[in-house]
Structure 1
Amino acid sequence: MASIPASNTVAAAAMLSVRNLTVSLPVGMERAHAVNGISFDLLKGQILCIIGESGSGKSVTANAIMGLLPKVIRVTEGSIRLDDTEIIGAGPEQLRDLRGRVVSMIFQDPLSALNPLMTVGDQITEALLAHNVGTADSRKDRALQLLTEVGLPDPALLYHQYPFRLSGGQRQRVMIAIALALEPTILIADEPTTALDVTTQAQILNLIRDIQRRKGMSVMFITHDFGVVAEIADSVVVMEKGKIVEQGPAGRVLTTPAHPYTKRLIAAVPRLTSTNRVLPETSATPILQVENLVKTYRSGSRLLRSARTVKAVDDVSFELKPGRTLGVVGESGSGKSSLGRLLIKLMDSDSGRILFEGTDIATMKENAFRALRPKIQMIFQDPFASLNPRSTIAHILTVGPIAHGIPASQAREQAKALLSHVGLDAGAFGRYPHEFSGGQRQRIGIARALMFKPKLLVADESVSALDVSIQAQILMLLDQVQRETGVSMVFITHDLRVASQICDEIVVMQKGRVVEVGPPSQIFLDPQSAYTRELVAAIPGQEPG
């Protein structure tokens, strides 16, 4: 069903009205337009969800509304009216006055959106200061209040922390606090819960919905998760390759979708399953044994009485057999990503052992460990930060293998084959990371990790940035690679639905400690820990299958 312009009555009630919006891409891209002739309205007090796969034009639409399109792409046709103001053609001063006060945005990638040189508190108060709101003391009080509202621990200490000290989920909550600082009339949320665990996602959705109801705020919520749509949406716009293919009330689109693409998206949503995977028999000797691993973070100053000690990994032990997948699940800040970085020796542990094929790598010096690096690879949580922005995809994928003695021609052919395997066309080879969507960058990260044909793959939230259909493809790809090569995986995720589908055994972490270990059938049908029961219960509308 094509996009249908709203009636004059509806348009008059719209806080945001988009008409025939077309955004053109540079010559040589896969298609001519990022967004092509779309029209929709966001009504006062309404939550409108825009859903579609990576590259469908969702984020481009949001950035066009905010006046934040990069110079290489431009609006070539159409109108965007924000309340009574035409955005297309508006000057920088006019747009700056509207941002934050009238319309605010929660960005998809918190690490690149936050200033690494400013503390969390300064970044929140900066939004208030830019619009001359309050005194220095009242701005600080407001910042502390917002940090509390979005569920961050110890706001008084976090106020003085820098973004790099926070987990991915914590950084996203800081972004939400900044966006809500001035309580705008329109909030644009671009995948704001993608990096969050299920309990925190529920908190954030409730927070946005509560503020929306109290203030009569209008929300444009961009997501690829139909579970989120079912929770909060009043109406839905479905986009595919820059065009609107279906729109209407959320209840109708979810229950009786008219377009085949919408039906495919709904069918691809991961379902919680308690069925254990059946894989060929493997060696009883573990490829990886972790014994009493400890990592402690220290920050602040004892002299200034601001010292803070956090045991990110606290006496963790487990083992992984060859050709098997161990899931590590838990909330943001539970120590999942820290554990992954210890396993691949991106940082040193304080104590404990990491036995890889019987050799303790925890105490190895970098020179000794370098020969083992090709055997242990990692898919990082943040694809934007982990890819060199100055290198082409060809260089990113081949530089490591070439440095380890693989002929350049062989490395290039292998890289092209892997790009195709993860769903990217041959044209991606000569492009740069900034030319791809978040989901596409994550697929490049997966291809890079597979270039070495590793024995152990540590996947840190490797599908959290992907839309549901691509997520299903990547999970099938990882399963296929594992069956073909026998690679072992440590699969770190906050999405219990995904963990239930790909993992043979699951480790549940809370505040750095392992609270439960078991197969999916136990974790999801008969959890022994109260914390695990809380995680399973927080998955909206899910019953184990």
Structure 2
Amino acid sequence: MVASIQPVAPHDVALSVRDLTVNLPQGMERTYAVENISFDLKRGQILCVIGESGSGKSVTANAIMGLLPKVIRVSSGAIQLDGMNIIGLSPDKLRSLRGRVVSMIFQDPLSALNPLMTVGAQIDEVMAAHGVGTPKSRRGRAVELLTEVGLPDPELMYHQFPFRLSGGQRQRVMIAMALALEPTILIADEPTTALDVTTQAQILDLIRDIQRRKGMSVMFITHDFGVVAEIADSVVVMEKGHIVEQGSAQQVLKSPGHPYTRRLIAAVPRLTGEDRVPLETANKAPILKVEGLVKTYRTGSSLFGSQRVVPAVNEVSFDLAPGRTLGVVGESGSGKSSLGRLLIKLLDSDGGGILFEGRDIAKLSEAEFRPLRPRVQMIFQDPFASLNPRSTIGHILTVGPVVHGTPYAQARDEAKALLAHVGLDAGAFGRFPHEFSGGQRQRIGIARALMFKPKLLIADEAVSALDVSIQAQILQLLDQIQRETGVSMIFITHDLRVASQICDEIAVMQKGRIVERGPPSQIFLDPQSAYTRELVAAIPGEQPGSTRPVAANG
């Protein structure tokens, strides 16, 4: 059942989409990205658009912004912004609307930020493009926005480049840019996907506060029903380019009318305090032993007294047995991703040891470590930045194994089998990364890591970009692969609900240190550290062992 659109007085509507159809290029798995969709965003309200990866959520947002790529076009329908149909507007007129009338927080902050410009310069640019303020006032406004979105040391952050920031920090910069001109309509495309639970709560509070203060209308794209329950006034549910249900948040969450909506709600991960049944292995010796690992970042100049020293990883020690999964959780900037990059030697450590199968790889040169790389693989946090935009998916998956001696025909067959295993069709082999949604790109990253049949798999936010149903499938896939191959995993995540489901043991990181380590039953039911207790308490609507309300089957 598709909920009917209730008539709304024109003056109460900030954004109206009517019978919108967006064509996909020939050869794709379906003809349309979205087909005959209609919905309204009321003034001063938050509309959540929810659906699986590839459902058409981001295409709809980009159509509203006038940012569709040339190979994708609007074939019919209307998009009314403040009463003006933007379909067919000239690029100059669309440009004048962006940022001022409608602004967007993009899903992928690293690819949306200019790597050659400082954070401050990029926020300044938004205001300068519309002739707002003087250089001095724009700088002050930029620092104010960086403060408002909760970034540490805003004055210093103003001069940083995006690559120096964590994933969550980059997302907050994107939010600051989107809010620079205080637009009447804000489109947020998965803005909290890369954020830990405490920062997510802060960002949701921030968006809600600004929305209420300014009377702003927000179209919030998400795959997290926890976010929907927190902020939504109304909800649109999309599946494969169609709207299958829409209505008030209470109606959709409490009494979903469509089977697809009920499946999405049922797939939301729950925090569990139960310990995982360990995988039995013949070899009990640790496959990985980390001893006193240290990594310190230094920025600025010590000569002029502006040097900033950040201990990203500070005396970290742990071991990992074969076939086991160690979860590493903590807030954005806690050192989780830095630890992962040290373990795979994408960063050089400043001290300590990393014993992989008894050999200290921390002291190895790149040439010495290269033969070991196939045995230690990583699933990166940012799938778009880690995939070569000029290579087909087939080339991305096969080039590594071929270089290490696998015949191309064998690598090709294994790649196609893995693509099917992670939920992508056979046609994905010949396509390019930009032709996939964020969640689909993440599945490609997982397939690439598994091509080498590694002994150690480091998953850095491997499911953070995925909708809940695909997330559940990937977690099952990783569990299945681990039980089939005995691979050991370091599972880095900001989602404590996910960590509770897949990890044998969990290490909680804060400011570069492990403040607590233990099985899920301890971490979630009896946390010893005050910081761990704060993280568990920040999970929206979750208490270990509680029963989630079951949606009616209406």
**What range is the shorter-chain TM-score in?**
over 0.9
- Matches of 1:402 and 1:135, distance apart in 2: 55
**Could you tell me how far apart the structure 2 residues matched to 1:509 and 1:89 are?**
50
Which residue number corresponds to residue 33 of structure 2?
34
Aligned residues of 2:286 and 2:320 also touching (Cα < 8 A) = yes
User: Secondary structure at the residue paired with 2:327?
Assistant: strand
Aligned equivalent of 1:69: 68
Cα distance, 1:303 vs. partner? Answer: 3.0
Residue of structure 2 in register with 1:415 after alignment: 415
Residues 238 and 244, structure 1, Cα contact 8 Å, conserved in 2:
yes
Partner of 1:186 in structure 2? 185
Q: CA deviation digits over 1:388-427, x for unaligned, max 9?
A: 1111111111111111111111111111111100000101
Distance apart, 1:279 and its partner CA:
2.5
Q: Which residue of 2 aligns with 1:269?
A: 268
Quick one: distance in 2 between partners of 1:64 and 1:490?
39
Matched, 1:91 2:66: no
In structure 2, how many angstroms separate the alpha carbons of the residues matched to 1:73 and 1:2?
A: 26
Match of 1:309 in 2: 309
Task: Give the equivalent residue in structure 2 for 1:342.
Answer: 342
- Residue 369 (structure 1) aligned with residue 366 (structure 2): no
CA shift, 1:543, in A, is 1.3
Q: Tell me, yes or no, if the aligned pair for 1:128 and 1:134 is still in contact at 8 Å.
A: yes
Query: What TM-score, normalized to structure 1?
Result: 0.99
Deviation larger for 298-307 or 56-65: 298-307
Please name the residue that 2:398 is paired with. Answer: 398
Give the whole-Å Cα distance in 1 for the aligned partners of 2:160 and 2:33: 37
SS at match of 2:384: helix
Moved over 6 A (4+): none
Aligned partners of 2:3, 2:305: CA distance in 1, in Å? 59
Contact residue 111 and residue 171 of structure 1 kept, 8 A: yes
Cα offset, 1:437, TM superposition: 0.5
Q: Secondary structure at the match of 1:440?
A: helix
Alignment partners' CA distance in 2, 1:280 and 1:334: 29
1:304 deviates by 3.4
Question: 2:119 is matched with which residue?
Answer: 120
Q: Deviations over 1:238-297 (max 9, x none)?
A: 000000000000001001100000000000000000100112333331110000000011
Query: How does 1:56-455 map onto structure 2 within 5 Å?
Result: 56-282=55-281, 283-455=283-455
CA contact (8 A) 1:236 1:248 kept: yes
Alpha-carbon displacement from aligned partner over 1:169-213 (angstroms, at most 9, x marks no partner): 000000000001111111000000000000000000000000001
**Contact 1:22 1:77 (8 Å CA) reproduced:** yes
How many residue pairs get matched?
544
Give the structure 2 partner of residue 54 of structure 1.
53
Q: Distance in 2 between matches of 1:280 and 1:156?
A: 49
Q: Percent identity?
A: 79
Contact 1:505 1:519 in 2 (8 A): yes
Pairwise CA distance, 1:2: 3.1
Q: What is the distance in 2 between the residues matched to 1:15 and 1:304?
A: 51
SS in 2 for 1:39: strand
TM-score w.r.t. length of structure 2: 0.97
CA deviation after TM superposition for structure 1 residue 5, in Å: 4.1
Contact 1:3 1:40 in 2 (8 A): no
Deviation of 1:368 (Å): 1.4
Mean Cα displacement is larger for which, 12-21 or 460-469? Answer: 12-21
Name the CA shift for 1:14/1:34 in 2 (closer, same or farther; >3 Å).
Answer: same
Secondary structure at 2:423 match in 1: coil
* 2-structure distance, mates of 1:264, 1:358: 46
SS in structure 1 at match of 2:268? coil
Whether contact under 8 Å (2:3, 2:247) holds in the other structure is no
**3-state SS of the aligned residue for 1:416?**
helix
Counterpart residue type for residue 480 of structure 2: Q
Deviation (angstroms), 1:363: 0.3
Of 305-314 and 467-476, more deviation after overlay is shown by 305-314
CA drift at 1:306: 2.2
For 1:311 and 1:405, the matched residues in 2 are separated by 40
CA contact (8 A) 1:22 1:36 kept: yes
- Helix, strand or coil for the counterpart of 1:286? coil
- CA positional deviation for 1:302: 2.2
Q: Which position in structure 2 is the counterpart of 1:521?
A: 521
CA distance in 2, matches of 1:239, 1:43: 19
Q: CA offset at residue 156 of structure 1?
A: 0.7
Q: In the alignment, residue 165 of structure 2 is paired with which amino acid?
A: L
User: Over the residues paired in the alignment, what is the CA RMSD in angstroms?
Assistant: 0.9
> Offset at 1:4?
3.3
SS of the residue 2:391 aligns to: coil
Q: Secondary structure at the match of 1:352?
A: strand
* Counterpart contact for 1:433–1:441, Cα < 8 Å: yes
Which digits, 9 at most, give the CA deviation of each residue in 1:29-59, with x for residues without a partner? 1100001000000001100000000100000
Contact 2:278-2:504 within 8 A present in 1 as well: no
Following superposition, the deviation at residue 3 of structure 1 comes to 6.0
Select between 38-47 and 303-312 the one with higher mean Cα deviation.
303-312
1:4·1:39 contact (CA, 8 Å) conserved in 2?
no
1:215 deviates by 0.7
Which residue number corresponds to residue 485 of structure 1?
Answer: 485
Q: What letter corresponds to residue 57 of structure 1 in structure 2?
A: G
